A and B are shown apart, each in its own frame.
Chain A
Amino acid sequence: MRRAGLVGAISATGLALLLPLALTQPYLQHLLVASVINGILAVSLGIVIGFLGELSLAHGAFYGIGAYTSALLAKNFGVPFFLALPAGTLGAALTGFLIGIPALRLSGHYFAIATLGFQGIVILLITNLVEITRGPMGLSGIPAPGGINLFGGGISFQTKTGFYCLSLAVLLVTLWFTYNLMRSKFGQGFIAIREDPLLAASVGIRTKRYRLLAFCVSAAFAGAAGSLYAHYTLFISPDSFNLGESVYIATMVIIGGMGTISGPLVGAVLLTTLPEMLRVAGGLQFVLYGLIAMIVVIFMPKGIVGMAALYLRGQRDARIPAPGTTPGE
């Protein structure tokens, strides 16, 4: 079972690495990079929405904090990308920690509203701290990541293909960490809190600490995604990290499938590429887009991956005895 998963993961990675060879148009390659960055965002928000069971509408803000931290360090202080990326990650995690302490005293709708408020504050700060962020005019001239030398051969991240490989590596690390975390007592603790906070506390799970941990980890990955984005587009402005972005990422998680790791990833790739695939429909492009989103939400409440899992399980259950006819009963 585990080996099958590993083989699947390796072949999916191999396939993902081959994609830029098939899709040679720059615009399609841009979509690849965007899918990967959105994938990091959705998988990390999935930790809070799907596993902790809280709706956060501040993911765009953490994405932005990572982007601005990394971009400003690189632009103003000449910090190389490979240090700016962890700095952006850490910056977002730290902000998540500070915001999480008051916000996580709330849960359910109240928590969602608190994160909404935080999202608004961050955008206002970025917009109004003009001396630092250049406000609504946006920050340009962000240095692209320098290449690295490996075994005498140089790898450049300034091409779309090169940057795609770089962001794919960050996505893989995100997926691997999330997978490990969710199998560990920490991830199981998040799920326990989602299922029943009182019962979780009564078996010794320090629920406040764990909720904060989930929130920080999620924010950290969003920060990494922000750093990638900044050093990819080389220009950032508050518009890329607003409430609309937060809702967009949450939609990826919900459509892909909450409570799984692969679900948000599928949702991210789908929502990033779907508008392009629907281009053939001409003027109906966004009508169809909305329609598909609605159909998924109404008919697949567990998302695309949740639905697929249910279908596969049904197939398997058909082969084993139904409950109640278990031998020994």
Chain B
Amino acid sequence: MDILAVSNVSKYYGGLAANSEVTCRIREGEIVSLIGPNGAGKTTLFNLISGMEKTDCGTIEYAGRDIGGMEPPEIARLGLVRTFQQTKIFRDVKVKEAVMIGRHIHDRTGFLGALLSSRSARSERRSGSEKVSEILTFLGMSFQAESVARNLAYGDQKLLGIAISLGVEPKLLLLDEPAAGLNIQESARLMEIIRKIRDKGITIGLVEHNMKLVMDISDRVLVLNYGKLIAEGTPGQVRKDPGVIEAYLGKSGNA
């Protein structure tokens, strides 16, 4: 079943088509990577799907529901969560608090209950922090729970970004260049984590330049160039596709 269906989506910045009639699907439970040269429109597509920018035309359906024109918080509440290319974390709070903020929508405390710190508000907070510990253990970060986010090493900050998004309990998680700037060991660890996330039943959309990671992990790969989808298939198929080779390496022969 398709969890996400993007149909004929276009986005223009002035005369530049950042996305031009992109049509693609993500099926439930798979890991789909979106690759393409710099400026191909990968992040733009993520921004459109997550509601951070509005499409100029075309429709985006998530779990059978048109989410075009919805605000980002409402989309996140449906279980479609994205991370950011530039590491975004809540810098001045502790790691466990940052993940707790990620769990925001699952806290059922009402305003009056919060003001009076009612019994139910306290039990919501307790069960929330149990979930936070689970997430941190899952990512192997429990020993950093009390650290202030901005003091984490770069790789751990990227991981915290994922931890925060897992707090939302997404059904579809879009990761925007999670491996950017990571060394080989860290990338390998990240790959394991992405697999483990998928094994929990979370569908994954991935924008990534690290080709080893993409080819090893993806069920399917989509290739964008100049805003257009130019190829789609298994990693093996995409690797041999002449159009993809041309997009990355240029035309062969009569150059």
Query: Does A associate with B in a complex?
Result: yes
- In the complex the two chains form, is B115's CB within 8 Å of A180's CB? yes
- The residue of chain A having its C-beta at the shortest distance from the C-beta of B97 within the complex is A188
- In the complex the two chains form, is A192's CB within 8 Å of B101's CB? yes
Q: Which residues from A are CB-within-8-Å of B147?
A: 323
- Bound together, the chains give a CA A204 to CA B101 distance in angstroms of 10
- In the complex the two chains form, is A198's CB within 8 Å of B84's CB? yes
* A185-B107, A195-B93 known; A203 vs B81 contact (CB < 8 Å): yes
- In the complex the two chains form, is B104's CB within 8 Å of A192's CB? yes
A183 within 8 A of B: yes
- In the complex the two chains form, is B125's CB within 8 Å of A196's CB? no
* A191-B93, A199-B89 known; A204 vs B104 contact (CB < 8 Å): yes
B226 within 8 A of A: no
Q: Which residues from A are CB-within-8-Å of B93?
A: 191, 195
CB contacts under 8 Å to B, within A159-208, are 177, 180-181, 183-189, 191-192, 195-196, 198-207
Contact of A199 (CB < 8 Å), options: B92, B114, B121, B164: B164
- CB-defined A-B contacts under 8 Å, sample of 19: A177-B115, A183-B125, A184-B114, A184-B121, A185-B109, A185-B124, A188-B97, A191-B92, A192-B90, A196-B88, A199-B164, A202-B52, A202-B81, A203-B76, A203-B165, A204-B77, A205-B104, A205-B105, A206-B71
- Min CB distance B240 to A, Å, is 36
A25 within 8 A of B: no
Please tell me the number of chain A residues within 8 Å of chain B, measured between CB atoms. Answer: 29
Q: Which residues from A are CB-within-8-Å of B97?
A: 188
Q: Which residues from A are CB-within-8-Å of B143?
A: 326, 328
Q: Which residues from A are CB-within-8-Å of B151?
A: 323
B168 within 8 A of A: yes
- Bound together, the chains give a CA A50 to CA B81 distance in angstroms of 28
Shortest Cβ-Cβ A-B pairs, 9 listed: A184-B114, A204-B76, A204-B105, A195-B90, A185-B107, A180-B117, A201-B72, A199-B88, A192-B101
- Bound together, the chains give a CA A147 to CA B102 distance in angstroms of 49
Contact of B88 (CB < 8 Å), options: A180, A181, A198, A326: A198
CB contacts under 8 Å to B, within A27-59, are none
- Min CB distance B172 to A, Å, is 13
- Interface of B: prevailing SS: helix
* A183-B117, A188-B97 known; A202 vs B76 contact (CB < 8 Å): yes
Q: How large is the interface on B (under 10, 10 to 19, 20 to 34, 35 or more residues)?
A: 35 or more
CB contacts under 8 Å to A, within B82-124, are 82, 84, 88-93, 97, 100-102, 104-105, 107, 109, 111, 113-117, 121, 124
Q: Which residues from B are CB-within-8-Å of A198?
A: 52, 72, 84, 88
- The residue of chain B having its C-beta at the shortest distance from the C-beta of A180 within the complex is B117
Q: Which residues from A are CB-within-8-Å of B167?
A: 203
Q: Which residues from A are CB-within-8-Å of B76?
A: 201-204
B73 within 8 A of A: yes
CB contacts under 8 Å to B, within A129-177, are 177
Contact of B168 (CB < 8 Å), options: A184, A188, A203, A328: A203
- Bound together, the chains give a CA A58 to CA B12 distance in angstroms of 40
Q: Which residues from A are CB-within-8-Å of B72?
A: 198, 201-202
- Bound together, the chains give a CA A322 to CA B168 distance in angstroms of 32
Q: Which residues from B are CB-within-8-Å of A188?
A: 97, 100-101, 104
0 or 1 for each of B166-186: is its CB under 8 Å from A? (1 = yes): 011000000000000000000
- Bound together, the chains give a CA A259 to CA B88 distance in angstroms of 20
* A185-B107, A196-B88, A199-B84 known; A204 vs B117 contact (CB < 8 Å): no
0 or 1 for each of B120-162: is its CB under 8 Å from A? (1 = yes): 0100110000000000000000010001000100000000000
- Bound together, the chains give a CA A240 to CA B92 distance in angstroms of 36
Q: Which residues from A are CB-within-8-Å of B82?
A: 202
- The residue of chain A having its C-beta at the shortest distance from the C-beta of B117 within the complex is A180
- Bound together, the chains give a CA A119 to CA B111 distance in angstroms of 28
- Min CB distance A297 to B, Å, is 20
CB contacts under 8 Å to A, within B43-94, are 50, 52, 71-73, 76-77, 81-82, 84, 88-93
Q: Which residues from B are CB-within-8-Å of A189?
A: 101, 104
0 or 1 for each of B10-46: is its CB under 8 Å from A? (1 = yes): 0000000000000000000000000000000000000
- The residue of chain A having its C-beta at the shortest distance from the C-beta of B102 within the complex is A203
- Min CB distance A176 to B, Å, is 8
Most-contacted residue by chain A among B72, B76, B81, B167 (CB, 10 A): B72
- Bound together, the chains give a CA A189 to CA B88 distance in angstroms of 16
* A184-B109, A185-B104, A195-B93 known; A206 vs B73 contact (CB < 8 Å): yes
- The residue of chain A having its C-beta at the shortest distance from the C-beta of B149 within the complex is A195
Q: Which residues from A are CB-within-8-Å of B71?
A: 201, 206
- Bound together, the chains give a CA A185 to CA B132 distance in angstroms of 14
- Bound together, the chains give a CA A184 to CA B89 distance in angstroms of 19
- Bound together, the chains give a CA A35 to CA B160 distance in angstroms of 42
- Min CB distance B8 to A, Å, is 25
- Min CB distance A104 to B, Å, is 15
Q: Which residues from B are CB-within-8-Å of A192?
A: 90, 101, 104
- In the complex the two chains form, is A186's CB within 8 Å of B101's CB? no
